[in-house]
Amino acid sequence: MDHGIVILFNQLTMRVSGKTICCWAFAVVVAYCAVGCSHTQPMVSPAALRGAGASYRVGISGVYDLNQFDYAPVILDETAKMKVFSDTALTHDLSDTDFDYVIRGNFAYYKVPSKNGFHIFSIYCLWLPLLSGLPNTHIDGRADINFEIYHKGQLLKTYEYNDIFWAERSYLTLWPEPSLEMELRRLARLLLRDMSRDFFGHGVSL
């Protein structure tokens, strides 16, 4: 990183020419490719869930974090968007007879952003180097979620997913930063994939 900074500084002090502009353009493209994020769990594409439709009514009975805040609407929205089930709704009752399955979840999540050495260096140059688009923030995070699937009040199965993620961000990064909502949507899609595989894909008798 320090070596990169030295090169950048040298480039800044060089006379601007056609070659320099090309170098800069290349550096910016490289920076855009370098920054981004990575997860240990894949993002299931909607295309993978397209054929998994089942005519079941599914209820969401709360998806709580460590502080017992409810994020069920996010899961509900994602479930409805993926169209795996014929109908989804919130319910307070795990044994609600209106639903074929009721999902409940508990999760823990954290995301810690921290500024890197490039950002600290940029402070002494009036933040001008940050315009290069090189990453100046590193993000570490983790989400652990446990879903419980109930059928008429009886616990059928539990699914547990752990996702560790990191991200590098600059002021010019175009794609969205990892967030709790995005993370929950990712984990909800994993649940839908596994539910459709376990309950409907292989004709498991309940």
Partner 1 sequence: MTRCLLVLLLLLVTGCATRLEKAERLMARGEYVKARGYYQQELDIQQNNAHLPQWTGRAYRYSFVPANAAKAILGVGNSYKEQKLLDNAFYHYSYFIQFSLRHNLNFDKEISRIENWILENGPVVSESASGNDQIAVTEEIGPSDMTVMSAETAAQDRNEAAVTAIVESKKNEPAPRAGAKRKPKNSKAVSRKSAKLDHEEENLDMPVSR
> Rule CB under 8 A: is residue 7 a binding residue for partner 1?
no
Give the whole-angstrom CA distance, residue 156 versus residue 32: 45
> Rule CB under 8 A: is residue 142 a binding residue for partner 1?
yes
- Segment interacting with partner 1, rule: CB under 8 A, options 19-27, 58-66, 160-168, 193-201: 58-66
Candidate residues 29, 43, 108, 120; the one interacting with partner 1 per rule CB under 8 A? 108
- Closest CB 167 distance from partner 1, rounded Å: 15
Q: Are 99 and 93 in contact (CB under 8 A)?
A: no
The tokens describing 171, both together, are 């002021």
- Segment interacting with partner 1, rule: CB under 8 A, options 7-15, 46-54, 92-100, 156-164: 92-100
- Segment interacting with partner 1, rule: CB under 8 A, options 19-27, 79-87, 118-126, 152-160: 152-160
SS3 state at 19 = helix
Type of residue numbered 129: P
Give the whole-angstrom CA distance, residue 67 versus residue 89: 23
Helix H or strand E encompassing 114: strand 101-115
| DSSP count for the chain of H helices, then E strands | 6, 6
Give the whole-angstrom CA distance, residue 145 versus residue 62: 13
- Closest CB 84 distance from partner 1, rounded Å: 22
Q: Please identify, using beta-carbon distances, which residue of 44 and 143 lies nearer to partner 1.
A: 143
Answer positive or negative: Cα dihedral of 204, 49, 158, 43: positive
> Rule CB under 8 A: is residue 67 a binding residue for partner 1?
yes
Query: Per-residue x/- marks for partner 1, 159-178, CB under 8 A?
Result: --------------------
Q: Are 62 and 106 in contact (CB under 8 A)?
A: no
- Closest CB 27 distance from partner 1, rounded Å: 29
Q: Give me the residues that bind partner 1 (CB under 8 A), please.
A: 61-62, 64-70, 89-95, 97, 104, 106, 108-112, 114, 140, 142, 152-154, 180
